[in-house]
Structure 1
């Protein structure tokens, strides 16, 4: 079976008020998936709860069929999903402005392939942008895909602690 077919993706975003775990899907590139899962947890959530959310988000991830790629990655559709996500978080936490939502926000990219889950911390470049700048492969957290929810949650928290802010 092709390695791409076996991949699953998710994203983690966290600030002082929440940890957000969401499903991502795609093929060679990914984006948030409206058919996936979205969890908004308390920042003090137990590793078990975070790990379970991440397991469910990864389980809902899908490899797109070639005929789905155009509509899934349509710029207008991607922007709409993103703005909906931002709006949901701003309303839930009563942020007066976008900059309040994104201040000190950490982000990790998660992918599951070849029996392992890779959790990659990022560098917070500016308000709504993250990159791999300053992040080394040794900063990645790698854990077996059959790890317990508690172990996966601890791995996610470790990866979040390795995120770099500007």
Structure 2
């Protein structure tokens, strides 16, 4: 179960038919990949229960970072962490290059707002860029925050069937 921190919690989940990659998102009015809190790369064959569990952990690690803080400014101006993270994933999981990693990559945004978990499928526009445009509201999955790990994991897998996928 996720415990409310008095602010919204966020995570992104990527899936490229090989792996699920779950990343904590932190910030305030602008949000960033919070690689300081780590990330999880999980097999495509992961159980619903484990996928839900790791997703809740990632949401729980989400932080509010004040916009006038040094940490916020460092994250805002950081031009290296994301590209280094991508290179690390490519190397560790034996992808030929960035295109091979992102070729069939879909993304779902995960939010914990109030007493709900919201899963938003995304539209894959190009290489490593996704947007919510073109995704109907009916594709968004909303669950109670006290749902089981298994229900959350199954719902995440269902949400990935609702993404708009592009060949890179």
TM-score (normalised: structure 2): 0.90
Equivalent residue for 1:60?
A: 61
Give the C-alpha shift of residue 65 in structure 1.
Answer: 2.0
Structure 2: how far apart are the matches of 1:100 and 1:163? 19
Secondary structure of the 1:90 match is helix
Which ranges in structure 1 are unaligned for 5 or more consecutive residues? none
Give the C-alpha shift of residue 122 in structure 1.
Answer: 0.6
Equivalent residue for 2:21?
A: 20
After TM superposition, list the pairs within 5 Å mapping 1:19-98 onto structure 2. 19-66=20-67, 67=69, 68-74=71-77, 77=78, 79-98=79-98
CA distance change for structure 1 residues 6 and 115 in 2, over 3 Å: closer, same or farther?
A: same
Equivalent residue for 1:130?
A: 130
Structure 2: how far apart are the matches of 1:104 and 1:57? 23
Write out the 4+ residue segments of structure 1 that deviate beyond 2 Å after TM superposition. Answer: none
Q: Higher mean Cα deviation, 50-59 or 4-13?
A: 4-13
Give the C-alpha shift of residue 22 in structure 1.
Answer: 0.9
Give the C-alpha shift of residue 155 in structure 1.
Answer: 1.2
Secondary structure of the 1:31 match is strand
Structure 2: how far apart are the matches of 1:36 and 1:141? 25
Name the structure with the higher helix share: 1
Kept after mapping to 2: 8 A contact 1:49/1:150: yes
Across the aligned residues of Structure 1 and Structure 2, the Cα RMSD in angstroms comes to 1.6
Which ranges in structure 2 are unaligned for 5 or more consecutive residues? none
Structure 2: how far apart are the matches of 1:29 and 1:119? 19
Kept after mapping to 2: 8 A contact 1:12/1:20: yes
Structure 2: how far apart are the matches of 1:41 and 1:96? 19
Give the C-alpha shift of residue 5 in structure 1.
Answer: 4.2
